[in-house]
């Protein structure tokens, strides 16, 4: 179990350092200017690389909502949930601290939003609380549907990491303007603790909405799609 928790810590560390680091360092640097597209790709690439590197050890959740969604879908034992969530949040916090140390190494550094998630005046596009909640709920819901489908025993072997990484990239392309994209309570917690103030006050949404979306996805996939996958394929021929 300790090895699995270490893998979850390291994978979440990599996700936050790579994804948030691209936003704090590269996207804000005028000579690089990777923009929303670059940040979206960075988050997708961290999950893609982490899944292949650490997936054989822990399953590569790197996200409390993913662990909870997999539990709701009957793919993960409840006894492992607390340890996974603690390891994921710890990895995210350590990554945020490391990123802060790196980013603050220049005289032009200002903490600002520090890749935190927010709504209202702290949304990149000024989106409301309701819009942010719906966005985070739906994006996490679809993320779990992809994960549950791509990791099913009847899915093509070896492609789950690619599908999941591309799904996270797409999610960021859609939702960065709305909330700066969370779909991951651990990813939201690390930067928020360093920003403090408004980021901590709004952090509740980036736990509640992703977890609610993950629970719904796990329950629906388990009740509707698992049975359908096990049915014989439709051939199109009559009786």
Tell me what the pLDDT averaged over the chain comes to.
90
Region of 180 please: left (phi>0), alpha (psi -120 to 50) or beta: left
* Residue 57: count of CB within 10 angstroms of its CB: 15
Answer yes or no: is 44 within a domain. Answer: yes
- Name 224's Cβ contacts closer than 8 Å, sequence gap at least 6: none
Q: Quick one: pLDDT at residue 234? A: 46
Q: How confident is the model at residue 238 (pLDDT cuts 50, 70, 90)?
A: very low
Answer yes or no: is 132 within a domain. Answer: yes
Answer yes or no: is 235 within a domain. Answer: no
Domain of residue 200: give its range. Answer: 2-228
Q: Quick one: pLDDT at residue 25? A: 85
Cα 58 versus chain centre, distance: 16
Q: How confident is the model at residue 69 (pLDDT cuts 50, 70, 90)?
A: very high
Q: Is 41 exposed, middle or buried (0-12, 13-18, 19+ CB in 10 A)?
A: buried
CB-CB contact of 75 with 59 (8 Å): no
For residues 86 and 37, which has the higher predicted lDDT (pLDDT)? 86
The predicted model scores a pTM of 0.90
Q: Is 199 exposed, middle or buried (0-12, 13-18, 19+ CB in 10 A)?
A: buried
Asked if residue 76 has pLDDT above 50, the reply is yes
Per-residue tokens: 24: 């704090």
Q: Quick one: pLDDT at residue 235? A: 46
Q: Quick one: pLDDT at residue 94? A: 97
DSSP state of 80: G
Answer yes or no: is 81 within a domain. Answer: yes
Asked if residue 219 has pLDDT above 70, the reply is yes
Q: Quick one: pLDDT at residue 187? A: 97
Distance CA 154, CA 138 (A): 25
Answer yes or no: is 238 within a domain. Answer: no
Distance CA 6, CA 29 (A): 33
DSSP state of 234: P
Give the total number of structural domains in the chain: 1
CATH of the domain at 16: 1.20.1080.10
CB-CB contact of 12 with 92 (8 Å): yes
Answer yes or no: is 237 within a domain. Answer: no
Asked if residue 31 has pLDDT above 90, the reply is no
Answer yes or no: is 239 within a domain. Answer: no
Give the chain's count of helices (H) and strands (E). Answer: 10, 0
Region 168-174 average pLDDT: 96
Q: How confident is the model at residue 222 (pLDDT cuts 50, 70, 90)?
A: confident
Q: What is the pLDDT of residues 79-100, one digit of tens each?
A: 999 999 999 999 999 999 999 9
Q: What is the pLDDT of residues 103-156, one digit of tens each?
A: 888 877 777 789 999 999 999 999 999 999 999 999 999 999 999 989 887 777
Q: Quick one: pLDDT at residue 152? A: 83
Answer yes or no: is 102 within a domain. Answer: yes
Per-residue tokens: 13: 């560390």
Asked if residue 223 has pLDDT above 90, the reply is no
């Amino acid at each position: 179990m300790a090895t699995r928790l270490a893998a979850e810590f390291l994978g979440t560390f990599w996700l936050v350092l790579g994804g948030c680091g691209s936003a704090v360092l590269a996207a804000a640097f005028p000579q690089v200017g990777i923009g929303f597209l670059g940040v979206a790709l960075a988050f997708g690439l961290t999950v893609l690389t982490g899944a292949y590197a650490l997936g054989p050890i822990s399953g590569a959740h790197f996200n409390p909502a993913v662990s909870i969604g997999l539990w709701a879908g009957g793919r993960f034992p409840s006894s492992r949930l607390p340890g996974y969530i603690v390891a994921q949040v710890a990895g995210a916090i350590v990554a945020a601290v490391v990123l802060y140390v790196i980013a603050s190494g220049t005289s032009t550094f200002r903490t600002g939003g520090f890749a935190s998630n927010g709504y209202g005046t702290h949304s990149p596009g000024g989106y409301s609380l309701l819009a942010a909640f719906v966005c985070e709920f739906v994006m996490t819901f679809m993320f779990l549907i992809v994960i549950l489908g791509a990791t099913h025993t009847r899915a093509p072997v070896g492609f789950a990491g690619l599908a999941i990484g591309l799904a996270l990239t797409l999610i960021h392309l859609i939702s960065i303007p709305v909330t700066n994209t969370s779909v991951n309570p651990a990813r939201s917690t690390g930067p928020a603790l360093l920003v403090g103030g408004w980021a901590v006050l709004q952090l509740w949404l980036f736990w509640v909405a992703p977890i609610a979306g993950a629970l719904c996805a796990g329950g629906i996939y388990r009740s509707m799609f698992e049975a359908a996958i096990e049915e014989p394929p439709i051939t199109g021929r009559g009786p």
